[in-house]
Amino acid sequence: MSMVTYASSRGRSPEIGFTDTLLGGLAPDGGLYLPTDWPRLTESAPSTYADLATAVMAPFVADSIDLDDFAPMVDDAYSAFAHPDVCPLVELEPGHHLLELFYGPTLAFKDVALQLVGRLFDHELERRDQRVTIVGATSGDTGSAAMEAVRNRERVDIVILFPKGRTSEVQRRQMTTLDAPNVHAVAIDGTFDDCQDLVKAMFADEAFRTRVGLSAVNSINWARVMAQIVYYVWAAQLLDRRSTPTTFCVPTGNFGNVFAGHVAHRMGLPVDRFIVASNTNDILTRLIASGEMVAEDVVATLSPSMDIQISSNLERLLFELLDGNGPATAELISGFRAHGRAALSASQHEALIAEFAGTRLTDAETLEIISEVHERSGMLVEPHTAIGIGAARRVRRPDETVVTLATAHPAKFPDAVEQATGIRPGLPAHLHDLFDRAERVHDLPNDLHVVEDFVQSVRRG
């Protein structure tokens, strides 16, 4: 089996192995890790999700985890999902399918990766006899999925920052009601981008980083992208399209999910194209349309997990578009940071639009889709998924088979669903008392030193 090592998108950090990217998160030069080589998908089509997942991910972990250890972790992670297909596919209308990614414990697609990542952390920390402090930023769904994945694990403390007042009540309660001594929810007075900047700054603070054993599980973590590759292959397999190109439409925020699709494509999965679906925070669809990235203020929408202007995983794609040139990628990113704008060259823009299309939906259009889907099919969909559905319909050619990723369960965003359909979707059994549980949350200002002091104070051991 071919083995993969990992290099930073900014080209100024040493190459490392899988478990170091797992625990390290961001590279020391501020870049994101990418594999130095794209393993080819094998022809095999295992019949269960877990078996396919093991086969697809094995080359990425082979340098540091025994397959005999890895396969049971994968089995275990996906046995917790409330559907036998783990990620089932349903037909919405002819030629347009939904890949339902919300059968994990916290009802969003983040569980697919994080349930596995929690187990990988446990395994590796045990082997190294180490502990870590995970710090993450969430616009809603990553936080609870990460907390759920590591709660009560002896060797991990986790602090999750979320933008105060900008998550749905279900999202907030999923983070603040987890009763575990190693899990801490922090409401920051700011936007998601502010939270993400605080996390990046903590990682850049070398002394702090070392002192608390900082680690990340937000979507910059390569292991999360890796675990998300699997369901693109799974969808193609369920549709019997492992050798015919499919189009995937992905409701996008931080660009992690759609980047995993791009990796599946690089590994040999036939893909027609990706449709990047945005809400009014549409920097990505504007980049696709014009070749230029121009930052604007973040606007709160009905799809809070996509209320992002600076998509951290986009750096991985930019690195690819810049032919793997780390210093050039670093320059593009720092220019964007400094001036709020950056432009691709004509040939880079061409390469981008050869693979990606994009469009955006307003809140009004999102509600219309939710209502129309319910009237036509009886199905309840939440706002992120509805944006995907609307984008796919708008962009799709008549002959094109599209799989839209359904990224959350409707009960996670009940207000919007009720507003559009008059029906309030109920929570699944394991969360039925969510609104009766006591909340535990810390309010902190958007101030690096205050947040660092807090992290230091809660970590055990």
Is 412 designated active site?
Answer: no
CB of 210 to ligand PLP, least distance (A): 28
Closer residue to ligand PLP (CB): 52 or 416 = 416
Among 133, 305, 309, 359, contact with ligand PLP (rule: CB under 6 A): 305
- Decide: is 278 part of the binding site for ligand PLP (CB under 6 A): no
- Decide: is 108 part of the binding site for ligand PLP (CB under 6 A): yes
- Decide: is 99 part of the binding site for ligand PLP (CB under 6 A): no
- Decide: is 19 part of the binding site for ligand PLP (CB under 6 A): no
> Distances in Å between the alpha carbon of 2 and those of 63, 73, 315?
9, 21, 25
- Inter-residue contact 79 to 229 (CB < 8 Å): no
- Decide: is 149 part of the binding site for ligand PLP (CB under 6 A): no
Binding mask 406-435 for ligand PLP (x = CB under 6 A): -xx---------------------------
- Decide: is 219 part of the binding site for ligand PLP (CB under 6 A): yes
Active-site residue among 110, 164, 200, 412? Answer: 110
CB of 310 to ligand PLP, least distance (A): 12
- The piece of 122-130, 230-238, 253-261, 438-446 that touches ligand PLP (CB under 6 A) is 253-261
Closer residue to ligand PLP (CB): 13 or 407 = 407
- To the nearest 10 degrees (0 to 180), the angle between helices 314-321 and 346-355 is 120
- The piece of 38-46, 206-214, 247-255, 343-351 that touches ligand PLP (CB under 6 A) is 247-255
- Decide: is 252 part of the binding site for ligand PLP (CB under 6 A): yes
The torsion defined by the Cα of 220, 223, 229 and 235, in degrees rounded to 10, comes to -110
- Compute the distance between CA of residue 460 and CA of residue 151 in angstroms, rounded to an integer: 14
- Decide: is 374 part of the binding site for ligand PLP (CB under 6 A): no
Q: How many CB atoms lie within 10 A of CB 284?
A: 25
Closer residue to ligand PLP (CB): 21 or 252 = 252
CB of 209 to ligand PLP, least distance (A): 24
Question: The tokens 């535990």 sit on which residue?
Answer: 440
Binding residues for ligand PLP, rule: CB under 6 A, are: 108, 110, 141, 219, 251-257, 305-306, 384, 407-408
Enzyme catalytic residues: 110
